[in-house]
Amino acid sequence: MKSVTPESGSWRDWPLARLEREYSPSSCVPSITPFLEAYVQRSHEAVAELSCEQNVRWGDGVDEVFDFFPAASSHAPLLIFFHGGYWQEHSKKDVSFVALDCIAEDIAYAAVEYTLAPQASVGAIVEQCRRATGSIARQASTLGFDSRRIFIAGSSAGAHLAAMLLVDDRQGAHGPRENMIAGAILLSGIYDLEPLVPTYINQALHMTEQEAAIVSPIRHRLRPPIPVVVAWGQNETDEFKRQSQSEAVTEYKEFPGRAHFTIGQEGWEEVADYALDWAVEHARSSSPAPTGRVHGQQPMLE
């Protein structure tokens, strides 16, 4: 998605302990448990309060399902969300809470499930998310949303997966067609996976340096320009901040006082208000938008 900045290779000279600390969001908070519990609690509330069609199929595999929250209008825009967890933890059930703010803005919401590592490689997960997006789009008339106004979003590893849907040489026959995605919201993501190869994070992923480069959106060319917003929290590691501050995006946003996990409870409302207001604005606009991406703050693993 951009040229790697001159300082981006400095991680190669670091001791392993420093590298692992930089790519461990939990190093910035006393405990991640309260945040993960908040995700689960608010997600339970969303399912209880809102209309929700669970485990809709986007493919034939066991994990190839999504949860759909319809908006009041059958012609509303749709936000497709990919959860985080370093491709090896969590599930769509943990991000149902995003629907609360989407439905309030008359935006339909879909939370995608995908197979976790080590049962699937990162490359296979990327391909699943491409197929999921294409399949969901083809169900627009049945589910009730505007297939011309599909936005994708994700946090942490989910932001990486969303970003991989924005590059023009990796889509395949069953992925989203060229003009299918109207915009993207990328929160506290990781876009160059090569620094993960020597770390404990790669124990379940089994990536080589070559494989990591192939699934790093920062190393690919963006598709035709769409609005992209990239966001991150002020209290993130330097490496997460560096990876978020790449070129070729519409907008950047750092959220003061937020950490990687403070999307729950008091943290998420500010991010949601900003990101969804942005999505509504672009969903209502018929004019082409410049290339871009936003940063916010919400990866979901240690």
CATH number at residue 49: 3.40.50.1820
Kindly tell me if the per-residue pLDDT of 286 is higher than 60. Answer: no
Asked, for residue 22, whether it belongs to a domain, the answer is yes
Contact present, 112 and 129 (Cβ < 8 Å): yes
Find the range with the poorest average confidence among 29-33, 186-190, 211-215, 270-274.
Answer: 270-274
Residue 121 lies in a domain: yes
The 10s digit of each residue's pLDDT in 21-54 is 999 987 777 677 766 777 788 899 999 999 999 9
182, part of any domain: yes
Identify whether 300 is part of a domain. no
Q: Is the pLDDT of residue 3 over 50?
A: no
pLDDT at residue 247 greater than cutoff 70: no
Q: Which residue has the higher pLDDT, 261 or 134?
A: 134
255 or 12, which is more confident: 12
The total of structural domains in the chain comes to 1
Q: What is the rounded average pLDDT for all residues in the chain?
A: 82
Beta strand residue intervals within the chain, DSSP E? 53-57, 65-69, 78-82, 108-112, 150-155, 181-187, 228-235, 251-259, 294-295
Say whether pLDDT at 292 is over 70: no
Asked if pLDDT for residue 265 goes beyond 50, the answer is no
- Whether 301 maps to a domain, the answer reads no
123 within domain boundaries: yes
- Is beta strand 78-82 parallel, antiparallel or unpaired with respect to 228-235? unpaired
Whether residue 181 contacts residue 165, with contact meaning beta carbons closer than 8 Å, is answered with yes
Q: To 10 degrees, what angle do helices 122-138 and 157-164 make?
A: 60
pLDDT of residue 279: 65
Question: Where residue 274 falls among pLDDT bands split at 50, 70, 90?
Answer: low
Task: Report whether pLDDT(233) > 90.
Answer: no
Sign, CA torsion 262/113/46/251: positive
The stretch 170-189 carries a mean pLDDT of 73
CA distances 241 to 13, 135, 216, 276, 298, Å, are: 19, 33, 16, 22, 12
pLDDT of residue 80: 97
pLDDT band at 256 (very low <50, low <70, confident <90, very high): low
Looking at residue 129, its pLDDT comes to: 97
Residue 1: the pLDDT is: 58
Residue 267 confidence (pLDDT): 43
Burial 109-129, CB ≥16 within 10 A → b, else e: bbbbbbbbbeebbbbebbbbb
How high is the pLDDT of residue 221? 82
> Which pLDDT does position 30 carry in this prediction?
67
Residue 1 is assigned to a structural domain of this protein:
no
Residue pLDDT, tens place only, 90-147: 999 999 999 998 999 899 999 999 999 999 999 999 999 999 999 999 999 999 999 9
Instruction: Using the predicted structure, report yes or no on whether residue 268 has a pLDDT greater than 70.
Output: no
The pLDDT of residue 235 is 80
Instruction: Answer left, alpha or beta for residue 188, where phi above 0 means left and psi between -120 and 50 means alpha.
Output: left
Domain span at residue 150 reads 6-295
Region 265-280 average pLDDT: 57
Does a structural domain hold residue 247?
yes
What pLDDT band is residue 222 in, cutting at 50, 70 and 90? confident
Q: Is residue 50 left, alpha or beta, with left meaning phi > 0 and alpha meaning psi from -120 to 50?
A: beta
157-171, 239-253, 266-280, range with greatest mean pLDDT: 157-171
Counting residues of the chain whose pLDDT is more than 90, the rounded percentage is 54
Confidence category of residue 291, pLDDT binned at 50, 70, 90: very low
CA atoms lying within 13 Å on the CB side of residue 186? 34
pLDDT at 153 over 60: yes
Whole-angstrom Cα distance, residue 125 to residue 122? 5
